[in-house]
Amino acid sequence: MISTLIYRSRLGPSFEPSKLEELVCVSQSRNAALKISGILLFDGTHFLQVLEGPLESVNRLYDKINQDPRHDSVVELMRDYAPKRHFENLGMTLFDLRSDSPRTVLRSVIVAGALKFNLASDGRVYKFIKSFIRGSWRDQNLPQSEPASWCFVPDRSLVRASPGPLFVDQPCQFAIQPIVEPLRGQISSFEALIRSPGGGSPQDYFASIPAERIHEADLLSKEWAFALAKKIGIGSHKLSINLLPMSLVNIPGAVDILLDQITRNGLVPEQVIVEVTEDEVISGYDEFTTAIMQLRSAGIGLAIDDFGAGFAGLSLLTKFQPGELKIDRSIITDIHLHGPKQAILNAIVKCCAGLEISVVAEGVEKVEEWCWLEAAGIKHFQGYLFARPALNGVPAISWPVKVRR
């Protein structure tokens, strides 16, 4: 079995293009020793490389490339397996798009490939090569700002810290994490995340509740989220809460209970957003429809949480369009390094733009992720890069500021 990996990278700032031949020479013998074959395409700024060989060797070499300062912005585009190599000569053959026309380069790549069997023109390897040679891959990849051109300045003006729960004998607590619009310096919403009486995770909290009382506890716990919002004085900011959809379906009069809690704490329904996860909506869609109608007619907003983590995917949006969609951290993490994640994210952004749904990227931890996501058109972010959840309070928010270099 042959493992195939295709990546794209940019020439590192420390690398002299005139040293390219030298680099290729060194790589050629190194790759041959690893039983790796493949080609390297260079257009003056970007590389596209096809690596193929034993899985272990390909992985080891790709790790090296990721740490090599001569390669910048390395993005994995494809991993696949094949019965045979697409390029039979061990080592690496360079195709320089600066010295020949796209048509000529494509022709020489075809000659270099074991085309008769493997480099079929309907195969993905061939298509990736062709779109790189023609430059059409750029249509999908907007220029982004340099991660190094930003620094993050913490703003503590909203910080509210509380030594403990608001009231004695509180059955649960809440932590607050802001969702922000970094380039406008605005807070989109505060999300209330449940904590156990000892400050433990949502899992800890729900594990202590008997199964038959989970929905009731979930719904009634929201009183403490609204009480916290009141104490903090969230003003006209929005408050996002998490609910199991069945907490709205199984408890009689659930939406009225929620409305009561909201008004009792001096909030209005229009500033509250209920987040439910993708999987929950799908598994109980018919029952949940009534709850959605009630929530929406009361003025409460709806968000789909953890989108992309479940099995529904885009087909969910054919049934139901929320005001807000939160993209799961599993898609966001290292998105700047991963072509398939990028293509999926672009599709979600495009789809939501057509439906006027606002998109939030969840779990953003790295500047590189944020820069890529901004370029892809996302404006709302949640994650440790900007703010961590604060128990019984509001955390400092780190806002990006452009630095002159």
Please give the residue ranges that form the binding site for Mn ion (CB under 5 A): 242, 275, 305-306, 362
- Quickly tell me which residue has 């990546």 as its tokens: 7
- Contact between 218 and ligand C2E per CB under 6 A: yes
How far, in Å, CA of 194 to CA of 203, rounded? 9
Q: Which of 136, 186, 201, 290 touches ligand C2E (CB under 6 A)? A: 201
- Quickly tell me which residue has 């996501």 as its tokens: 373
- Contact between 251 and ligand C2E per CB under 6 A: no
Find which of ligand C2E, Mn ion, none residue 243 binds, CB within 5 to 8 Å per kind.
ligand C2E
How far, in Å, CA of 172 to CA of 216, rounded? 13
CB of 87 to ligand C2E, least distance (A): 40
Cβ pair 126, 80 in contact under 8 A: no
Find which of Mn ion, ligand C2E, none residue 193 binds, CB within 5 to 8 Å per kind.
ligand C2E
Find which of Mn ion, ligand C2E, none residue 202 binds, CB within 5 to 8 Å per kind.
ligand C2E
Cβ pair 383, 362 in contact under 8 A: yes
Cβ pair 98, 43 in contact under 8 A: yes
DSSP assignment letter at 15:
-
Q: Which of 52, 305, 368, 369 touches ligand C2E (CB under 6 A)? A: 305
* CB-nearer residue toward ligand C2E: 12 or 323: 323
Which helix (H) or strand (E) covers residue 57, if one does?
helix 55-67
Q: Which of 27, 93, 118, 242 touches ligand C2E (CB under 6 A)? A: 242
Find which of ligand C2E, Mn ion, none residue 4 binds, CB within 5 to 8 Å per kind.
none
- Residue 308 identity: G
State whether residue 82 is helix, strand or coil. Answer: strand
Question: Which residues are 2's β-sheet partners?
Answer: 82
How far, in Å, CA of 242 to CA of 218, rounded? 9
- Contact between 275 and ligand C2E per CB under 6 A: yes
Cβ pair 134, 13 in contact under 8 A: no
Find which of Mn ion, ligand C2E, none residue 72 binds, CB within 5 to 8 Å per kind.
none
* Region of 42-50, 260-268, 359-367, 392-400 interacting with ligand C2E (CB under 6 A): 359-367
Question: Which residues are 175's β-sheet partners?
Answer: 193, 391
Task: Give the interface size with ligand C2E as a residue count (CB under 6 A).
Answer: 22
Find which of ligand C2E, Mn ion, none residue 187 binds, CB within 5 to 8 Å per kind.
none
CB neighbours (10 Å) of residue 96? 16
For 229, phi then psi, to 5°, come to -60, -40
Find which of Mn ion, ligand C2E, none residue 262 binds, CB within 5 to 8 Å per kind.
none
**169 Cβ partners below 8 Å, 6+ apart?**
none
Q: Which of 194, 227, 234, 352 touches ligand C2E (CB under 6 A)? A: 194
Distance of CA 148 to the CA centre of its chain: 20
How far, in Å, CA of 160 to CA of 170, rounded? 19
* CB-nearer residue toward ligand C2E: 183 or 220: 220
- Contact between 279 and ligand C2E per CB under 6 A: no
- Contact between 280 and ligand C2E per CB under 6 A: no
- Contact between 306 and ligand C2E per CB under 6 A: yes
Could you list the residues that contact ligand C2E (CB under 6 A)?
Answer: 177, 193-194, 201-202, 218, 221, 242-244, 275, 277, 305-306, 362-365, 382-384, 389
